[in-house]
Amino acid sequence: MLNLEQYELGNGLRVVLNEDHSAPLVAVNLWYHVGSKNERPGRTGFAHLFEHMLFSGSQNVGNNEHFRYIQSVGGVLNGTTSFDRTNYFETLPSNYLALGLWLESDRMGFFLPALTQEKLDIQREVVKEERRQHYDNVPYGTSFERLLNLAYDPDYSYHWPTIGSMEDLGAASLDDVRDFFNTWYRPDNCTLTLVGDFVPDEAKRLVEDYFGGIAPAGAFPPFDLERMPQGSERREVFESPVQLPRLYRLYHLPKMGAADWIFGDLLSTVLASDKASRLDRVLVHEKQIAQDVAAYIIPTEASGMLILQATAREGVSIETIEQEIDAEIAKLARGGISEDELTRARNRAEIEHAHHVENYDERADIIGMFTTYFGDPEILNTWLEPYENATIDDVARTAAQYLVPENRATSLFLPQS
Amino acid sequence: MIDRTQAPLPGPPRPYHFPHVTRATLANGLRVLVAQNHNAPLVSMRALVRSGADHDSPDVAGLASVVADLLDEGAGSRDGIKLTEDIGLLGGTLGTGADWDASYISLDILARYAHEAVEMFSDISSRATLPPDGLERVRAERITDILQQRDEPAAIAAKRFSGLLYGHGPYGVPMIGTADSVARISADDVRRFYRDHYIPNNTSVVVSGDIDPDQALKLVDEALGNWERGAEPPRPSIAPLAFEANRIYLVDRPTAVQSEIRIGHVGVARSSADYFPLSVMNALLGGIFNSRINLNLRERHGYTYGARSVFAFRRSAGPFVVAAPVRNEVTTESVQEVLGELRRIRTGDVEDQELEHTKSYLMGVFPATVQSASDIAGRLLDIELYGLPESYFEHYRESIGAVSKDDVERVAKKYIDPDRALIVIVGNAKQVREPLGTLGYPIHELDIDGNRIA
């Protein structure tokens, strides 16, 4: 059990403290409850572009100085954007806690005075290069984007990935940056987590000093979109410069944390995780028709997704791969799983959770996640309970209920003919 | 009220100590290192076999890593599936692999099952069955991996760069082999490599995490004390090629929307007495986000999402390389900017503050990189692999702190050579060929397999 203390500042900033003196370090972690989910068509990729902008300085911190301040004292830092949230974090030698709080509060409260068109133009180019490097210039790079396009209707914002489109990145203006900041980057839309070597009373005083004076927004635009059931399978075949055919599948699940999402997590481990897992064993090991298979779920807040992928061996058709996968899923849904399979899947969840709390930085990050998505950091200490309580019937029933054609989108990547 | 216009001053620094390490050498020559920590209920076990792909002869390149891939295909009385199932029942994750310097086995396990897991760890280290049908499957997968790399610009660039620098031998031929060399690997080759190299007197075992050191030593001794020693393998030597002037190799990838740029030359061995000055110099040049090369290409020009420089410290001198993926239109400018930074660092224009920031980064960041059981295990493997002093990591931060401006200038002049650099570009030749010509360096065009095209 990890000892967590949570409280709220007058302006609504949620603070979670986890005191731990095993290393002379402190992790400072902020989760802003905004992501690509809160973008609108025509401005896709904006939440992520904005994340880049937040490293370009604020009223009392020069351009690129944020990185310099932290790196020059031996800190590590970054930020990431996903569908539902944007996080910013640094791990510092613990005597520099105040430095981290100063930097984070300066950009939360005093970002706009330092904003310039030139900074936006540079970061726009950097993000375009990020898109080229990770999506457009690598094999299968656009697979997730294609799958999302297929699985979600255009007005539902999981329809596009966080990187956004080149056109929309080009269209983002300084006014968009200002609006986005004023709408979302407020203390009452943020969770600040501190993990590590500090004295709680002193940390609380510093947090109040640096963040207490920043004005709240009071209210935020609600995310009230509902994902409509697909009704039938959605499919596409896409030819691109790749050597081997690959199948991508998205199955819709309930949102993260729901009982069936947990069972879906266990199910993905039973399907594809190590060479004794179902799809690995049959497709890769025994029949040797697939080069690799993978199954995983994504921690999404609004609605859940289980992703499957498999690469065909040379000379094997993608139809063969798809038939074998469907046959294995049907077998699992009909025949269930063994107690040993469930134990192994639970163990894997336990190991992953243990790795998440092992380092201060990751621990702070999942505390931020639990607080942001579920309103309660204590879930950190009870997260594994539903995994422990899951039964073999739960997992088989989840397969039978969700891993069906009318609940899936399938994107097939084929080598260009 | 706080003064926001000034960065707050730090409190007094808190002491840091690298975890205490318990060491033993068993009668058969196996070295054992144990470090305890309680961050999570996990134990990391590692075996380091001090032979890697540097032992592969070019005709069977990929052998060391194929052997490593085969270790989990069966060990002791278990076949590969049974081994995986039983490890899974203990909450374990097994990994095996090889790099240029060594072969590795890693088993991360829930601490409460460490006792049961040691038996399987010992089987994999000393009683792998290396079944022939497993070899055929691993071979087919490997050849497919090699095929898939033909689409990956970063992999193509790395492969061409190494090949042009080191030729047809270790460090030059890919570590994972070529389609032809992998096809030639026989079951005998595999058995011989395992027999000759996986021996206790060529191996170190590291156990770290939530386990009592005495108990860990006892477990390892019981499980691996009977492992039979063998003749210690000789150390291979590596002979790089030399370039007398800058030259460009342009690998045509007509679909490219970015150029993958690699610029560099032969670097330095891990054992170099200049290791610490080089680490500081490289961090300042291109090793960290706020380094000169990244700030120039990314933050000043917006050419790239990230550029970096690396010295690949290996047992013999690995490459020094600057890597940058940039958009097609700015390929030539990016090459110029990188060469400019390589020239500048040799002029000794390093500023006091820049040096202090870089050093304090490397010193301060060290504790953050050794938090988890597997982080600590990794550091102990470095000590074992490169024969570093026992107290090496206890004094790591002082060694960085002792690097002076003169040291940085000296090693930059000695080890960075922007006039004898190999420049590899994987990109759209039609678009970048002409602008690259303005640099005045000879340009050789290659296809993605490295064949010259006229």
- pLDDT tens digit string along B235-249? 998 888 878 899 999
pLDDT at B454 over 80: no
Mutate to test the interface with B, among A274, A277, A356 (most CBs of B within 10 A): A274
Contacts of B69 in chain A (CB under 8 A): none
Same domain, A260 and A297: yes
pLDDT at B46 over 80: yes
CB spacing of B289 vs A347 below 8 angstroms = no
> What percent of chain B is predicted at pLDDT more than 90?
91
Can you state the angle between helices B352-365 and B275-282, rounded to 10 degrees?
110
CB spacing of A73 vs B364 below 8 angstroms = yes
Here the tokens at position B308 are 């970096």
A205 touches B: beta carbon within 8 Å: no
The Cα–Cα gap between A150 and B327 comes to: 29
Q: Look at residue A254 and give its three-state secondary structure.
A: coil
Contacts of B294 in chain A (CB under 8 A): none
The interface predicted TM-score of the complex, written ipTM, equals: 0.90
Closest CB from A22, A344, A347 relative to B39: A22
Confidence category of residue A292, pLDDT binned at 50, 70, 90: very high
Confidence category of residue A275, pLDDT binned at 50, 70, 90: very high
pLDDT at B128: 98
Closest CB from B88, B140, B372 relative to A276: B88
The Cα–Cα gap between A340 and B321 comes to: 48
Q: Does residue A218 fall inside a structural domain?
A: no
A116 touches B: beta carbon within 8 Å: no
- Domain B21-224 CATH superfamily: Metalloenzyme, LuxS/M16 peptidase-like (3.30.830.10)
What CATH number was assigned to the domain covering residues B247-446?
Answer: 3.30.830.10
CB spacing of B290 vs A121 below 8 angstroms = no
pLDDT tens digits for range B384-403: 999 999 999 999 999 999 99
B360 touches A: beta carbon within 8 Å: yes
CB spacing of A110 vs B80 below 8 angstroms = no
B65 touches A: beta carbon within 8 Å: no
Q: Strands B443-446 and B258-266, how do they pair? A: unpaired
Backbone φ and ψ for B270, nearest 5 degrees, come out as -60, -30
Q: Within 13 Å and on the Cβ side, how many CA atoms surround B80?
A: 23
The Cα–Cα gap between A140 and A136 comes to: 9
Which of A160, A178, A211 terminates a domain? The answer is: A211
A331 touches B: beta carbon within 8 Å: no
In chain B, ranges of CATH 3.30.830.10 domains: 21-224, 247-446
Same domain, A262 and A392: yes
In terms of residue numbers, what domain contains A395?
A: 234-415
Backbone φ and ψ for B188, nearest 5 degrees, come out as -65, -45
Contacts of A73 in chain B (CB under 8 A): 10, 360-361, 364
Contacts of A415 in chain B (CB under 8 A): none
- Could you tell me which chain A residue has the CA closest to the CA of B357? A72
Backbone φ and ψ for A298, nearest 5 degrees, come out as -110, 135
Report the run of H or E that residue A395 belongs to, with start and end. helix A392-402
Q: How far is CA A118 from CA A130, A164, B301, in A?
A: 18, 21, 11
Mean pLDDT of B65-83: 97
B108 touches A: beta carbon within 8 Å: yes
Mean pLDDT of B335-347: 98
pLDDT at B243: 82
pLDDT tens digits for range B293-333: 999 999 899 999 999 999 999 999 999 999 999 999 999 99
Q: Does residue A183 fall inside a structural domain?
A: yes
Report the first-to-last Cα separation within chain B, whole angstroms: 71
Nearest CA-CA distance, residue A224 and chain B, Å: 34
**Left if phi > 0, otherwise alpha if psi is -120 to 50, otherwise beta: which for A183?**
alpha
pLDDT at A148: 97
Predicted TM-score of the model (pTM): 0.92
> What percent of chain A is predicted at pLDDT more than 70?
100
**Beta-ladder partners of B29:** none
pLDDT tens digits for range A202-255: 999 999 999 999 999 999 999 888 888 888 999 999 999 899 999 999 999 999
Mean pLDDT of A341-358: 96
Confidence category of residue A98, pLDDT binned at 50, 70, 90: very high
Q: Does residue A312 fall inside a structural domain?
A: yes
Of A90, A91, A93, residue with least CA distance to A79: A90
pLDDT at B39: 85
B231 touches A: beta carbon within 8 Å: no
A76 touches B: beta carbon within 8 Å: yes
pLDDT at B242: 79
Mean pLDDT of A110-118: 96
B433, with CB counted inside 10 A (0-12, 13-18, 19+), is middle
Domain count, chain A: 2
Same domain, A15 and A70: yes
Report the first-to-last Cα separation within chain A, whole angstroms: 57
Closest CB from B108, B305, B373 relative to A126: B305
R_g over Cα of chain A: 23
pLDDT tens digits for range A366-381: 999 999 999 999 999 9
Closest CB from A74, A76, A98 relative to B8: A98
Contacts of B296 in chain A (CB under 8 A): none
What average pLDDT is seen over chain A?
96
Nearest CA-CA distance, residue B268 and chain A, Å: 25
CB spacing of B367 vs A23 below 8 angstroms = yes
A188 touches B: beta carbon within 8 Å: no
Nearest CA-CA distance, residue A285 and chain B, Å: 8
CB spacing of A359 vs B371 below 8 angstroms = yes
CB spacing of B42 vs A358 below 8 angstroms = yes
pLDDT tens digits for range A169-200: 999 999 999 999 999 999 999 999 999 999 99
Same domain, A172 and A268: no
pLDDT tens digits for range B185-207: 999 999 999 999 999 999 999 99
Confidence category of residue B80, pLDDT binned at 50, 70, 90: very high
| Sign of the torsion formed by the C-alpha atoms of B284, B290, B295 and B300 | negative
> What percent of chain B is predicted at pLDDT more than 70?
100
pLDDT at B240: 86
A359 touches B: beta carbon within 8 Å: yes
Here the tokens at position B341 are 């930074």
Q: How many CB atoms lie within 10 A of CB A236?
A: 14
Closest CB from B148, B361, B372 relative to A71: B361
**For the CA atoms of B109, B124, B96, B188, what is the dihedral angle to 10 degrees?**
-170
Here the tokens at position B89 are 């029942």
Same domain, A71 and A167: yes
Same domain, A59 and A191: yes
A320 touches B: beta carbon within 8 Å: no
CB spacing of A75 vs B256 below 8 angstroms = no
Closest CB from B10, B14, B325 relative to A197: B14
- Could you tell me which chain A residue has the CA closest to the CA of B291? A68
CB spacing of B360 vs A73 below 8 angstroms = yes
CB spacing of A67 vs B256 below 8 angstroms = no
Closest CB from A67, A244, A288 relative to B148: A244
> Per DSSP, which regions of A66-113 are E strands?
76-81, 86-93
Mutate to test the interface with B, among A207, A348, A351 (most CBs of B within 10 A): A351
Burial A207-216 (b: 16+ CB within 10 A, else e): bebbbebbee
Here the tokens at position B328 are 């097609």
Mean pLDDT of A279-307: 96
pLDDT at A225: 83
**Beta-ladder partners of A18:** A195
pLDDT at A1: 85
Contacts of B150 in chain A (CB under 8 A): 243
CATH of the domain at A272: 3.30.830.10
CB spacing of B91 vs A129 below 8 angstroms = no
Q: Does residue A104 fall inside a structural domain?
A: yes
pLDDT at A138: 86
Q: Does residue A226 fall inside a structural domain?
A: no
> What percent of chain A is predicted at pLDDT more than 90?
93
Asked if A293 and A284 touch (Cβ cutoff 8 Å), the reply is yes
Confidence category of residue A407, pLDDT binned at 50, 70, 90: very high
**Left if phi > 0, otherwise alpha if psi is -120 to 50, otherwise beta: which for B141?**
alpha
